[in-house]
Amino acid sequence: MSPPNAAPASSREHESVALAPPQPSFEVLPAWQDEDPERIRDLQDEIRDLARQKCAIILAHNYQLPRVQEVADSLGDSLALSMTARDASAERIVFCGVHFMAESAKIVNPAKKVLLPNLAAGCALADSISAESLEDWKDRYPGYTVVTYINSSAEVKALSDICCTSANAVSVVRNVPSRRILFTPDKNLGNWVKKQVPEKDIAVYDGCCPTHDVLRSASVEKVKRLLPDAVIIAHPECREDVLEMAQEICSTSGMFDAVKRHPEARTFIVATEWAQVYRLQQVYPEKEFVMADGCIGCRLHCPYMKMIDLPQVKRSLEEDVFEIRVPEAIARGARRALERMLEVPRDR
Ligand code: 13P
Ligand code: SF4
């Protein structure tokens, strides 16, 4: 029982929070680690065998579950994975990522069977634009060259002049001959590109990625106060207030090189999805990577990227599901926009 003059439990809890601010941590990972590592290893071995038998290549995005990343033949960001898919000679491409990535793979390498292990793996940002809404924006900006982020459907790509990814958005916009650009669908990436290319007149569509857009500079500042020497790395899908705090702004794969540019730094605050933080920690075990929300990654979690786990990858190989098909009438225009994108080198 509490002593008679003790403060009520709720106010004591409040006091203890005020005295000991939560430390930024990486505690989210145990929730995703399986209790039975042997079962995981067995499943991974079965997947590798099946992939060999089926002449399949497994591609995985940097945001995939760590155990899915471990069975991938190739890991990367949207640009690297599109290039790998285009050049793949295997009969099947099992794409562990989200729908627009698998669809882009099919478009750039139509002769291959492209499989997405779970059709529920969509993308909220890609869903924020449709062929109809893009037509409306094109009517509002006649004569503008349409630059569309790869996070979009094949229909939207087909109505665009050129695509880009977070790895080459600045170079794409700088290199298109037109001075007037309609950038779709991500407003945070678009506004950041606009600042890098002030000589162009850039209209920006109003879509965003909820996983990144939820992050506020106030949260990042709390983490920075606890780790004043840390270098902040952010994905350009973050809001402007967060990007203004960052020393490095780059695609998920670009973040690996960004770490190398700061050999003196031991700690990095990372403003993007938590699985990327896990990957960085694996590649640089001597460094410390902390999620920018100063939390357990609950706000920096892409539910779509976590729709694929090992059982889905195994089923995908066993049953050839779920095959991505794009009608040629749409694929033709989307391919032109993607191929133009693939010609533009990375920004760094
Ligand atoms: P990257 O191309 O940088 O990997 O980003 C893809 C993505 O969906 C980020 O949310
Ligand atoms: Fe789409 Fe955002 Fe998830 Fe990337 S993090 S796949 S942009 S919802």
- pLDDT value of position 280: 95
Tell me how far apart the 2 most distant CA atoms of the chain are, in Å. 78
- pLDDT value of position 298: 66
- pLDDT tens for the chain, residues 1 to 348: 333 333 333 333 433 333 344 444 444 444 455 568 899 999 999 999 999 999 999 999 999 999 999 999 999 999 999 999 999 999 999 999 999 999 999 999 999 999 999 999 999 999 999 999 999 999 999 999 999 999 999 999 999 999 999 999 999 999 999 999 999 999 999 999 999 999 999 999 999 999 999 999 999 999 999 999 999 999 999 999 999 999 999 999 999 999 999 999 999 999 999 999 989 999 999 999 999 998 765 679 999 999 999 999 999 999 999 999 999 999 999 999 999 999 999 997
Of 123, 166, 215, the residue with max ligand 2 atoms within 8 A of its CB, to mutate for a pocket test, comes to: 123
- pLDDT value of position 258: 98
What is the domain partition of the chain in residue ranges?
A: 36-122+305-319, 126-209+327-342, 215-298
Query: Which CATH superfamily is 215-298 part of?
Result: NadA-like (3.40.50.10800)
Q: Rounded to whole angstroms, how far apart are CA atoms 298 and 301?
A: 6
Question: Fold for domain 36-122+305-319?
Answer: Rossmann fold (3.40.50)
Q: Rounded to whole angstroms, how far apart are CA atoms 40 and 43?
A: 5
Three-class SS string for 149-209? ECCCCHHHHHCCCEEECCCCHHHHHHHCCCCEEEEECEHHHHHHHHHHCCCCEEEECCECC
Tell me which residue has its CA closest to atom 8 in ligand 1: 151
Tell me which residue has its CA closest to atom 2 in ligand 2: 209
- Tell me how far the alpha carbon of residue 343 lies from the centroid of ligand 2, in angstroms: 24
Q: Rounded to whole angstroms, how far apart are CA atoms 184 and 134?
A: 8
- Tell me how far the alpha carbon of residue 212 lies from the centroid of ligand 2, in angstroms: 8
Identify the residues whose C-beta falls under 6 Å from ligand 2.
98, 123-125, 151, 209, 211, 237, 273, 302, 304-305
- pLDDT value of position 289: 95
- pLDDT value of position 80: 98
Question: Fold for domain 126-209+327-342?
Answer: Rossmann fold (3.40.50)
- pLDDT value of position 295: 74
Name the residue with tokens 């995985």: 60
Is 215-298 in the same CATH topology as 126-209+327-342? yes
- Tell me how far the alpha carbon of residue 78 lies from the centroid of ligand 1, in angstroms: 6
Of 149, 276, 304, 306, the residue with max ligand 2 atoms within 8 A of its CB, to mutate for a pocket test, comes to: 304
- pLDDT value of position 35: 64
- Tell me how far the alpha carbon of residue 237 lies from the centroid of ligand 1, in angstroms: 8
Structure token pair of residue 47 = 């997947």
- pLDDT value of position 84: 98
Q: Is the pTM higher than 0.95?
A: no
- pLDDT value of position 10: 39
- pLDDT value of position 37: 87
* Contact present, 284 and 278 (Cβ < 8 Å): no
Tell me which residue has its CA closest to atom 6 in ligand 2: 123
What are the phi and psi torsion angles at 181 (to 5°)? Answer: -125, 135
Structure token pair of residue 323 = 């095959």
